[in-house]
Amino acid sequence: MNIKSYRLTMNNQKSMRISMFLCLVFLTGCLRDTNAIILRTSNEPAELIVEEYEIVDTNTDSPTHFEFLQRITLDITEKRARWKNLAPDLAVQDINAVLTKYGYTIEHDPMLSSYTYRLFKGYTILLDAAYPLGYATENQDQRDFALMLQTYDGTTYLLQKAGLEKWQSDEGFSYAPIYYQDDLIYPVIASTIQITSESGQTIYETSLPSNPVMNPIQTFQAWNGHWILEKEGELIIDGESLNKELGFQEIFNWQIIQGEPLFFFQEEKDGPYSMMYAGQQLDHKYDSIVHYQCCEPAAFNPAGNTYMVWFYASRDGKWYYVEAGVYPELND
């Protein structure tokens, strides 16, 4: 088995073009500030490590069935296991970093399943056998926050500074609301996708995916003062299409790794797929990356957490299992 390890590299010409585009895009009044925002939060982002593991020839097998997982050997899965399979309390450390500022915490309940938690205010249990949906977000002046939780009976709650209350389950949406500046906003799925404020104002509207079995929304989250929406290979930031601004055919699997965004993209139709992290294009290119699959093949869609992303990709007639991440020391 061939193993290839790489470090983050930058295509200087592409990165300069992207930075120029984004500076123009985000110097708009809709963001209510005068700072040019590129796709990074730090001038010196943490080093991203990309590790590729050659699995099998594309003519021999493909990641379309569960048995393909047997080709991923223990020496591969164990190398980054501590960062991939996070301990339950470590998995919610970013949420608790917000909640503790307001006197709340969520703590793992060892008597139940691995990622089931109790919600505390001080020493009082407010909710038992629950799990968070999405992340905790704060309003612009950091005087309030929002976090959605759901219990195993399907009841959904919204936690804010003032307390816990049932979330509007009769509306029929299950995406966690987020704070955008001082407004609580969330998606409503009907004949279109609408991003709606708590007051009922629609701030953005777009069509549903053309594929009826595709999840209407792949990502809806807050990042660095903006709201992010991913649907059917398009990334929307505060109502503006990043695809159109960069001239990319497809952008997918937006996620935050140690504060910086990572996503995959295809610049031209039938062209190679690449990755971008912290506003820098990586040199790694693939003929295909498994994504947006349903049913059994969905097991091979990209997945990740706050430390890493893992995915399956092909290049030059070979399938690879790939892990890309930032790996600080962990205190379990």
Report the pLDDT value the prediction gives residue 38, as an integer from 0 to 100: 64
253: left (phi over 0), alpha (psi -120 to 50) or beta: left
Q: What are phi and psi of 152, to 5 degrees?
A: -70, -15
Q: What is the pLDDT of residue 27?
A: 39
Q: What is the SS3 assignment for the chain?
A: CCEEEEECCCCHHHHHHHHHHHHHHCCCHHHCCCCCCCCCCCCCCCCCEEEEEEEEECCCCCCCCHHHHHHCCHHHHCCCHHHHCCCHHHHCHHHHHHHHHHCEEEEECCCCCCCCEEEEECCEEEEEEEEEEEEEEECCCCCCEEEEEEECCCCEEEEECCEEEECCHHHCCCCCCEEECCEEEEEEECCEEEEEECCCCEEEEEECCCCCCCCCCCEEEEECCEEEEEECCEEEECCEEHHHHHCCCEEEEEEEECCEEEEEEECCCCCCEEEEECCEECCCCECEECCCCCCHHHHHCCEECCCEEEEEEEECCEEEEEEEECCCCCCC
What pLDDT does residue 116 have? 93
Average pLDDT for 36-47 = 76
Banded model confidence at residue 41, pLDDT cuts 50, 70, 90: confident
Give the whole-number percent of the chain exceeding pLDDT 90: 76
Across 13-17, 89-93, 300-304, least confident range: 13-17
Give tens-digit pLDDT for 65-109.
999 999 999 999 999 999 999 999 999 999 999 999 999 999 998
* Residue 169 clears pLDDT 80, i.e. is over it: no
Q: Which two tokens stand for residue 208?
A: 């549903």
Decide if pLDDT at 39 tops 60: yes
Q: Provide the pLDDT for residue 44.
A: 86
Question: Is pLDDT above 50 for 210?
Answer: yes
* pLDDT exceeds cutoff 90 at 16: no
Q: How confident is the model over 123-146, as pLDDT tens digits?
A: 999 999 999 999 999 999 999 999
- pLDDT of 17: 47
- Beta pairing partners, 130: 117, 151
d(CA 71, CA 73): 6
Share of the chain above pLDDT 70, in %: 86
Write down the pLDDT at residue 174.
66
Ordered by start, the domain boundaries in the chain are: 3-325
pLDDT at 18 over 70: no
Both structure tokens of 26: 């985000």
Range with the lowest mean pLDDT among 161-165, 212-216, 250-254, 295-299? 212-216
Q: Kindly indicate the confidence band of residue 332, based on its pLDDT and cuts at 50, 70 and 90.
A: low
Please give the pLDDT value at position 173: 53
Say whether pLDDT at 299 is over 70. yes
Alpha carbon distances (Å) from 132 to 119, 146, 162: 10, 11, 18
Q: Show the tokens assigned to 31.
A: 């963001």
Mean predicted lDDT score pLDDT of the chain: 88
Cα radius of gyration (the chain): 20
pLDDT at site 183: 93
Identify whether the C-beta of residue 163 lies closer than 8 Å to the C-beta of residue 129.
Answer: no
Q: Is the pTM of this model over 0.95?
A: no
CA dihedral 128, 134, 136, 140 (to 10 degrees): -150
Checking if the pLDDT of 250 tops 70, the result is yes
Average pLDDT estimate for 217-224: 94
d(C-alpha 108, C-alpha 138), whole Å: 23
User: Are the C-beta atoms of 252 and 272 separated by less than 8 Å?
Assistant: no
